[in-house]
Amino acid sequence: MTRRRTTLAWLTLAVMGPVAGCAHAGAYEDFFKAIELDNGAAISDLLKRGFDPNARDPKGQPALVVALREDSRKAAAALIGARGLKVEERNAKDESALMLAALRGNLPAARALIKLDADVNKTGWTPLHYAASGTTQDAKAMVALLLEENAYIDAASPNGTTPLMMAVRYGPGDVARLLVQEGADPTLKNELGLTALDFARQADRADMVELIAQAVRRRQPSAGKW
């Protein structure tokens, strides 16, 4: 009898094992589908049932980074509110959640992440680089927020590119003007020897060329002064 019960127990486990695995796989697929569809309610429900907010998609990207990159704002909000969230989880490009929030102009997410101690001044490409190159209507406000949070205005990327260089090439004009107004150095060069003026010229942005040229002139000593 004991041997029969043992055999039955083993058979039960053998059957239940694949079922449990399938259930977990289904939840995983549902989780990332909910991010894609920006279904915050579904994300919250899965999190309440114990799903890991730090799960990574099949490409190894953290769920929150995916949500912010796709601008799935309801999904991102649900994840940011999750217990146990690791806000500094990065993808293969070393992009953080705050960087993607900055790029998309997602001010509520950026503010919430900063409160959760997201790194405003991470090494390499920074949230300010991403904010400066953003094209949303909240790009300027995002740059202002990061500067208020002590983002280093002349942060150098791995190749020496500054936020001002990114702004004059890719961002709205008011972002570059804000950076200049707040003291960004227009004379700095990246590893290729290019300045913000070169970036503006390459982008064929006459207004940015003039902005940077004026900023450079203001930094030069006046003629005749000793």
User: Model confidence over 123-152: pLDDT tens digits?
Assistant: 999 999 999 999 999 999 999 999 999 999
Query: Which pLDDT does position 153 carry in this prediction?
Result: 98
In this prediction, residues 49-70 reach a mean pLDDT of: 97
* Residue 10 to residue 73: CA distance in whole angstroms: 46
C-alpha 104/C-alpha 95 separation (Å) is: 13
CA dist., res. 153 & res. 166, Å (int): 12
Give pLDDT tens digits for 148-190: 999 999 999 999 999 999 999 999 999 999 999 999 999 999 9
pLDDT digits (tens, 9 = 90+) for 8-42: 443 333 333 333 333 356 899 999 999 999 999 99
Residue 134 pLDDT = 95
Q: Give yes or no for residue 3 having a pLDDT over 60.
A: no
The mean pLDDT of 69-86, rounded to a whole number, is: 97
Helix (H) or strand (E) holding 196: helix 196-202
Cβ(56)–Cβ(83) below 8 Å? no
d(CA 146, CA 89): 19
Asked if pLDDT for residue 118 goes beyond 80, the answer is yes
Position 218 scores a pLDDT of 92
